[in-house]
């Protein structure tokens, strides 16, 4: 289905999300300027989400970029707000399909380059480095990077100026005047932009359901220092590798407690290298590598490690399985989850926690103490941003449907008259005229499965889900050209029970069912190998349904000698 746009030749300013609206993750927004027949596009972010139990074997999920790929000559540029995976994680794989100029701040550019090197020499992407606070011209779009506060260095809102008005794209943000490192949110600049006049605010909705304000990173740093000083044995802190302010807070807390920090996990090490190069860890003592863990006294070590989301290959999961070659935790040690569990990861995190608890390891999460703060704004912070920016209109993004709905209701109560919520693929006309959805573009996802990237229907994932539910039966039939069956059919089971409720062998039952099905085909018609395979497949699935209550996938190989 091709996109359906407004039928006008007048210049318009539109917003089209291809990801990140109606979901948390996989952010990709397009701003378009011009007439329907001659529209220039600006892309904001190009992120990923992660596979789950519904997508077995899938590592990453990308937004389908077919809409913009088909008109990439009209894509003026790609601007990245910050270096979280859900905002920049698809660049290495999808940028080659677009080839547009890419703009990012130094930290994002550094992480992107490090990731390319780590990914077995994957080709790097040329980046035009932009400093926070600067302005660039990208086609008809005048883009200003305004410093915000978030759980990563160099987060930015984008002030996008066009002849039809100005849009503020918030990116991920919160209000934190003591963020631990880097620039705090630039309140005065946001107020100045508001005085210029803002047509629309496109705004983060993640915490729009929560009243009040998020605590500061400084509050977490103070509490971590107290916790580490009071711990009698080893302390392991797991957090998001990109949260450099948190890594710094742990390091300084360890120093105050007379402990060394051992860094465990590739993603953590990669982030630390980039952060040191850019000066974000100046004054922080050197970190130790994994080899030091074994000889440091239990009360003189803090392990800083990956795995806060229960990722199977991450350091903490391996330690919980007692599968790490250099690092172990014992009864009385403390593990601090200085993170929040991303929706969908709950079972994996609980599994890690239970494995550690069985060993007598103490666990502390943000439910127990102030060891983590969100990087997203609550309602008090949203109200402040509205008062600074003074938008005429608002589009809620970066949230599931409930978050978007609650954000929209809150914004209206705060006096913003034009508030329109939508979904991925909706084309919002921002100007001229009132904010409204005026069309729709086809959207979807791409799966990264090993080294391949494919649409869901071409990925084989649907069949994998069926396999995980009902297994597979492979049958072999050997016959001659006259249709004479030359040997008993054989059946192999994958993921099926070995016997039915009466204890009869499933293999024997299915082989008998195939025999009977073949006997029921007249010899003259049995010469048709396709017909034979179809009859055998039907018999297998029918018998399995009768004896088991499920229909497995079925493959029948007919060999004609």
Query: Is 6 part of a structural domain of the chain?
Result: no
- Is residue 4 over pLDDT 50? no
Sheet containing 260-264, strands listed edge to edge, beginning at the edge strand earlier in sequence: 260-264, 301-305, 235-238, 334-337, 362-364
Do 259 and 381 sit in the same domain of this protein?
no
CA 14 to chain centre: 26
My answer on whether 159 and 121 are in the same domain is yes
Q: How far apart are CA 432 and CA 430, in angstroms?
A: 7
Q: Residue 275 has what pLDDT?
A: 96
Looking at residues 372-391, what average pLDDT do you find?
A: 97
Choose one of 312, 337, 364: the last residue of a domain. 364
Among 310, 344, 364, the domain-final residue is: 364
pLDDT in tens, 216-232: 999 999 999 999 999 99
Asked if 509 and 431 sit in the same domain, the reply is no
Cβ-based neighbours of 309, under 8 Å, separated by 6 or more: 339, 341, 342, 345, 348, 349
Confidence of residue 456 (pLDDT cuts 50, 70, 90): confident
Are 136 and 258 members of one domain? no
Structural domains in the chain (count)? 3
**56 vs 480, higher pLDDT:** 480
Cβ(246)–Cβ(180) below 8 Å: yes
Joined together, the tokens standing for residue 430 give 């921002």
Q: What is the pLDDT of residues 435-446, one digit of tens each?
A: 999 999 999 999
Asked if 196 and 69 sit in the same domain, the reply is yes
Q: What is the mean pLDDT of residues 255-268?
A: 95
Do the Cβ atoms of 348 and 378 come closer than 8 Å? no
Rounded to an integer, the average pLDDT of 393-406 is 97
Q: What is the pLDDT of residue 50?
A: 85
- pLDDT band for position 9 (50/70/90)? low
Q: What percent of the chain has pLDDT above 70? A: 98
Asked whether residue 301 falls in the same domain as residue 235, the answer is yes
Question: Over the chain, what is the mean pLDDT?
Answer: 93
- Give the residues across from 32 on adjacent strands: 14, 41
Domain residue limits at 201: 12-212+374-451
Look at residue 134 and tell me whether its pLDDT is greater than 80. yes
In a domain, 1, yes or no: no
Better pLDDT: 525 or 195: 195
Instruction: Tell me: pLDDT of 102 over 70.
Output: yes
**What pLDDT digit, counting tens, does each position of 299-329 carry?**
999 999 999 999 888 999 999 999 999 999 9
- Does any domain span residue 3? no
More confident residue, 75 or 530: 75
Q: What is the pLDDT of residues 354-374, one digit of tens each?
A: 999 999 999 999 999 999 999
Which residues, in sequence order, are CB contacts of 532 under 8 Å at separation 6+?
477, 479, 518, 521, 526, 556, 558
Q: How many other CB atoms are found less than 10 A from the CB of residue 343?
A: 11
Residues 84 and 119 in one domain: yes
Tell me, what's the pLDDT at 1? 31
Do 501 and 407 have their domain in common? no
- Which CATH number characterizes residue 239's domain? 3.40.50.10710
| CATH code of the domain covering residue 495 | 3.10.20.580
Q: Decide which of 466 and 79 is more confident.
A: 79
Provide the 8-state DSSP code for 54. T
Are 79 and 43 in the same domain? yes
* Mean pLDDT value of segment 468-475: 89
The end-to-end CA distance of the chain, in Å, is 47
Strand order in the sheet with 128-129: 128-129, 102-104, 75-79, 38-44, 28-35, 12-19, 426-431, 436-440
Q: State whether 353 and 380 are in the same domain.
A: no
Would the pLDDT of 2 be above 50? Answer: no
The CA-atom distances, in angstroms, between 229 and each of 232, 372, 450, 519 are 8, 18, 43, 79
CB 214 within 8 A of CB 373: yes
* 5 part of a folded domain: no
Task: Give the Å distances, CA to CA, from 315 to 245, 265, 272, 440, 534.
Answer: 20, 6, 16, 43, 49
pLDDT at 256: 96
Task: Flag whether 248 is in a domain.
Answer: yes
Q: Is the pLDDT of residue 3 over 50?
A: no
Across the range 17-29, mean pLDDT stands at 95
According to the model, what pLDDT value does residue 6 have? 42
Same domain? 393 vs 516: no
> Considering the domain boundaries, does residue 369 fall inside one?
no
Residues 207, 221 within the same domain: no
Tokens representing 107 are: 């930290």
- Determine what percent of the chain is predicted with pLDDT higher than 90: 80
Higher pLDDT, 542 or 454: 542
pLDDT exceeds 50 at position 7:
no
Tell me which of 364, 383, 412 is where a domain ends. 364
For residue 104, the cross-strand partners are 129
Residue 128 lies in a domain: yes
Residue 267 belongs to a domain: yes
Q: Tell me, what CATH number does 120's domain have?
A: 3.60.15.10
């Amino acid at each position: 289905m091709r996109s359906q746009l407004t039928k006008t030749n007048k210049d318009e300013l539109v917003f089209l999300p291809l990801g990140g609206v109606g979901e948390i993750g996989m952010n990709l927004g397009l701003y378009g300027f011009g007439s329907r027949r001659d529209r220039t596009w600006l892309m904001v972010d190009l992120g990923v989400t992660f596979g789950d139990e519904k997508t077995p074997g899938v590592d990453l999920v990308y937004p389908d970029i077919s809409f913009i790929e088909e008109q990439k000559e009209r894509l003026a540029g790609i601007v990245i707000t910050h270096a979280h995976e859900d905002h920049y994680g698809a660049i290495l794989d999808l940028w080659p399909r677009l080839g547009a100029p890419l703009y990012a701040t130094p930290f994002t550019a550094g992480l992107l380059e490090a990731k390319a090197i780590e990914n077995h020499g994957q080709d790097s992407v040329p980046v035009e480095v932009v400093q926070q606070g600067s302005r660039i011209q990208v086609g008809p779009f005048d883009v200003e990077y305004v410093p915000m506060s978030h759980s990563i260095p160099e987060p930015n809102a984008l002030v996008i100026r066009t002849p039809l008005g100005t849009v503020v794209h918030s990116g991920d943000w919160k209000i934190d005047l003591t963020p631990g490192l880097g620039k705090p949110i630039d309140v005065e600049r946001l107020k100045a932009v508001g005085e210029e006049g803002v047509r629309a605010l496109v705004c983060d909705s993640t915490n729009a359901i929560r009243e009040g304000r998020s605590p500061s990173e400084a509050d977490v740093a103070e509490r971590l220092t107290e916790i580490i000083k009071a711990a009698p044995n080893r302390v392991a802190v797991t957090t998001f590798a990109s949260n450099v302010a948190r890594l710094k807070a742990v390091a300084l807390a360890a120093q105050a407690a007379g402990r060394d920090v051992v860094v465990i996990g590739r993603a953590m090490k990669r982030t630390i290298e980039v952060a040191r190069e850019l000066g974000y860890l100046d004054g922080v003592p050197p970190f130790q590598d994994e080899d030091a863990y074994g000889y440091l006294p239990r009360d003189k070590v803090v392990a800083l490690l990956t795995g806060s989301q229960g990722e199977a290959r991450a350091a903490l999961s391996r330690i919980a399985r007692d599968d790490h070659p250099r690092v172990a935790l014992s009864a009385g040690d403390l593990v601090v989850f200085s993170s929040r569990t991303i929706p969908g990861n709950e079972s994996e995190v609980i599994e890690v926690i239970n494995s550690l608890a069985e060993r007598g390891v103490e666990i502390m999460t943000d439910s127990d103490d102030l060891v983590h703060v969100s990087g997203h704004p609550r309602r008090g912070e949203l109200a402040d941003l509205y008062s600074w920016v003074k938008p005429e209109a608002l589009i809620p993004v970066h949230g599931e449907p409930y978050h978007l709905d609650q954000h929209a209701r809150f914004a209206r109560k705060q006096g913003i008259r034009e508030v329109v919520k939508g979904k991925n693929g909706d084309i919002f006309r921002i100007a001229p005229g009132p904010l409204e959805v005026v069309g729709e573009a086809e959207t979807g996802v791409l799966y990264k499965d090993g080294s391949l990237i494919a649409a869901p229907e071409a990925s084989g994932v649907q069949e994998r889900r069926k396999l995980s539910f009902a297994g597979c039966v492979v049958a072999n039939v050997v016959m001659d050209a006259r249709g004479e069956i030359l040997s008993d059919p054989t059946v192999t089971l994958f993921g099926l029970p070995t016997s039915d409720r009466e204890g009869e062998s499933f293999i024997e039952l299915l082989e008998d069912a195939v025999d009977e099905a073949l006997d029921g085909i007249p010899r003259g018609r049995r010469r048709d190998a396709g017909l034979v395979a179809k009859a055998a497949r039907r018999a297998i699935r029918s018998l399995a349904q009768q004896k088991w209550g499920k229909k497995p996938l079925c493959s029948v190989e007919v060999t004609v000698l």
